[in-house]
Amino acid sequence: MTVANLTLNDGARIPQVGFGVWQLPDARAPEVIGHALNSGYRHIDTAHAYNNEEGVGIAVRESGLPRDDIFVTSKLWNMFHGRDATMKAFDGTMQRLGLETLDMYLIHWPVPMEDKYVESWKAMIELRDAGRIKSIGVSNFNQDHLQRLIDETGVVPVVNQIELHPRFQQRAARDYHEKMGIRIESWSPLGQGNIIDDPVLKSIAAKHGKGVGQVILRWHVEQGLVVIPRSKTPKHIDENLQVFDFALDAGDMEQIAGMDRADGRIGPVPTELGVVNLPPKE
């Protein structure tokens, strides 16, 4: 299966469907990611906080694929904001990954109560300009956080990775991101499995002869979103990539638009998550 690529505002190309590895134990990462790469994924999304960067690096090196063919993302954790801490954390990430350069590095959360995210952003600009990172972006940033980065540095993030799924569609954020040329990357794109039994989605899936998960991922794809589903099951890993051989019609999109809920958020509120110690490695 050939995965479509999208162009970021710095000219880089990112595979639209990637493989998320949150909650994937480091010891299992080479096996599971290896299967994903064999299936056709070319975009792996990890983070310092996921405790599996070493396994990701092993999978990339053992894949037999040219390094330039695999887009690898990692993220700066909350307790490492500030210039010097960001530089040190990035060095640790690269040591664990065992890579020379990183395709994309994101600030995982803004942690506004610490007020150091602009300082971290400036450090990431330095790392990009030094050739150590190809693209830089953020995750879980609200519009005011994004605008402050832009106003104080002149550098627009290429991506903002945010929670987005049919029950939490982030409509209010879409226009601003489009205006600024910031790609939205959807995390928990399947709603962490909470919407798989939704009758609307099941009806649309039956109409297209597809699974509910594939319909949801196709919904992301058709809106120009980057999407990073995760699974440890080979069957689901394969199915999540098979979303480029059908299309949703206007009626399908309208029905899914009606699923949006004011209380649909699953994860933390970006302004409320502060410095959190890294979880112990499994």
Active site residues: 50
Residue 133, SS3 per DSSP: strand
Please give the backbone phi and psi of residue 232, each rounded to the nearest 5 degrees, phi first: -105, 0
Token code pair at residue 21: 């590895």
Number of Cβ within 10 Å of residue 271's Cβ equals 15
Taking the C-alpha atoms of residue 72 and residue 56, their distance in angstroms, rounded to an integer, is: 9
Helix extents (H) in the chain: 29-39, 53-62, 83-97, 117-129, 143-153, 171-180, 199-208, 212-222, 234-241, 250-257
Instruction: Give the dihedral sign, CA 276/161/126/175.
Output: negative
- Is there a contact between 21 and 52 (Cβ–Cβ < 8 Å)? yes
Structural element, H or E, at residue 134: strand 133-139
